Amino acid sequence: MKTVYELGDELGLERSELLPHGHFVAKLNARQILDRLGGSPDGKYVNVTAITPTPLGEGKSTTVMGLTQGLGRRGERAIAAIRQPSGGPTMNIKGSAAGGGLAQCVPLGPFSLGLTGDINAVMNAHNLAMVALTARLQHEFNYTDAQLAERGLRRLDIDPRNVEMKWVMDFCAQALRETIIGLGGKSDGLMMRSGFAIAVSSEVMAILAVATDLKDMRERMGRIVLAHDKQGQPVTAADLEVAGAMTAWMVGALDPNLMQTLEGQPVLVHAGPFANIALGQSSIIADRIGLKLADYHVTESGFAADIGFEKFWNLKCRYSGLRPNAAVLVATIRALKCHGGAPIPVPGKPIPDAYKEENVAWVEKGCENLVHHLGTIKRSGIRPVVCINAFHSDTANEIAAVRRIADAAGARVALSRHWQLGGEGALELADAVVDACNERSEFRFLYDMETTFRRRIELIATEVYGADGVEYAPDALKAIKRMEEDPELSSMGVCMAKTHLSLSDNPSLKGVPKGWKLFVRDILTYRGAGFIVPVAGTIKLMPGTASDPAYRRVDVDVETGRVRGLF
């Protein structure tokens, strides 16, 4: 690996802009870099997304690393941007999302185990807000208005039955989804229902992804809604006088982390929201830095194009003002077979043998899912590039079928063997992306901000997911009507929470489901981040740990201190 100083010199960074955390990881002084380079032109902006994945994922992070390495092999100055992995999937089934084979982000140990502490800062900031809320509830219950005034407090009249926020931790802990807190005596807090969500679903994490600078982050922190009072009015972090302290925890986290690919290209790792329950993007700050420092900046969106790309398109690009030059849609033969009728893989168990045998009919049928996602990307005005992420079991006939169908759908197609061969295996993909970036595009959003929330949700459901319409649970319908009547909320975006395993809200429906309606059972409000979150189907904000999690194989060499078993 190159040291961070070597990477910094290659990027043209000044030493004061590099904040080392050891030899191979550093923070970048975002404010100083963007102030110095603010007037310089941007490089090309490339988004990587995917078809609907199997439960094991389809290699978007691997493709981001491979494409960046391939561009490097072509003599281009390329930088990647990915999210920091959550401890939940790292210690569960999916792994740490650093890529794989010869297309990885390194060093893997620090990347997988907390990096420079950004997620820890998110947890502390979020849970501090919950401490402020629960303490205030206890004091308001125990003290009169006069006694509160003696302590410099006014009664907020918080309704303990209308608390919107939960606690967070960075593991998959299904036993903590619903809890009762405040058991004990008068000094132990107010007894009430509560629970936990995973840290990367926190609104604080979403704010880290969309904030443009420290001032913007501080203002957004104050707007976070934790609960409502007994008249139904929101109680914010500013009301609790905790927003400043929350931001204090996040000052260092606002700077992106610098790492590298196996072939020495820079990788910016920053923010880590899931895409199925949150924004699913690395930070706007990381993208702005990458675009100033590189000819090509490659950024990843979580899960498939119906989730990650849709949020990149209609939320991240809207907030950042940045416009992509190309989009890569990652597909694997095995995922296409899954959508074409093959047995659905079970997390934690070996891939069924049927996936190792040629079956062109399954691939062709599964390509209906690929073509649907191509349509989503093309609606944004971008002509996509299909990356066939190659596995050793893929056959020439299966690959030819994907090429034929994707080409007929109006996309460039590239076979990439970056997992096996690194950048050398991604040259066809790199060339296709360069060609796509040189093609004029007419970027456009799916909706404008004057569109009502219900119409926006309907457009996402029908135009992106392929639903016949939208149905609401009674409480969700009341909430959305109330939000549409609130002028302060009209400028917020819509960030859907939905399963990543299907275009629909039912994870068992593969391919391109027909004859269904999206069921919205709840609406969350992220005023600080700037969007509402319709929750569809049975998606949960705290995932569960499986029976054969990855932590069973993680250990430490006691002689060297090196961690083994991460993937």
Q: Which long-range contacts (CB under 8 A, 24 or more apart) does 30-37 make?
A: 30/213, 30/254, 30/255, 30/256, 30/285, 30/289, 31/213, 31/214, 33/289, 33/292, 33/293, 34/285, 34/288, 34/289, 34/292, 37/292, 37/293
Annotated catalytic residue 186: no
Annotated catalytic residue 94: yes
Find the catalytic residue in 212, 391, 445, 451.
391
Q: Which two tokens stand for residue 244?
A: 């400043």
Annotated catalytic residue 292: no
Spatial CB neighbours of 288, under 8 Å, sequence gap ≥ 6: 34, 320, 322
The candidate with the shortest Cα–Cα distance to 69, out of 423, 390, 419, is: 423
Report the 3 state secondary structure along 423-444. HHHHHHHHHHHHHHHCCCCCCC
Annotated catalytic residue 27: no
Find the catalytic residue in 27, 44, 83, 454.
83
Find the catalytic residue in 275, 326, 335, 467.
275
Annotated catalytic residue 517: no
Annotated catalytic residue 275: yes
Find the catalytic residue in 26, 27, 50, 94.
94
Find the catalytic residue in 49, 52, 54, 62.
62
Find the catalytic residue in 26, 30, 52, 60.
60
Annotated catalytic residue 481: no
Cα angle, residue 256 at apex, residues 252 and 259 outer, rounded to 5°: 125
Q: Round to the nearest angstrom and report the end-to-end CA distance of the chain.
A: 18
Find the catalytic residue in 303, 313, 519, 531.
303
Annotated catalytic residue 83: yes
Q: Strand ranges (DSSP E) for 83-194?
A: 99-100, 103-106, 158-163, 167-169, 179-181, 192-194
* Eight-class DSSP state of 287: H
Count of CB atoms within 10 A of residue 556's CB? 12
Q: Residue 324: is the preceding peptide bond cis (ω within 30°)?
A: no
Q: How long, in residues, is the chain?
A: 567
* Rounded Cα–Cα distance for residues 126 and 462 (Å): 34
Angle between the N-to-C axes of helices 203-210 and 214-223, in degrees from 0 to 180, rounded to the nearest 10:
150
Residues paired with residue 388 on neighbouring β-strands, in sequence order: 331, 415
* Rounded Cα–Cα distance for residues 202 and 420 (Å): 36
| Residues involved in catalysis | 60, 62, 83, 94, 275, 303, 391, 419
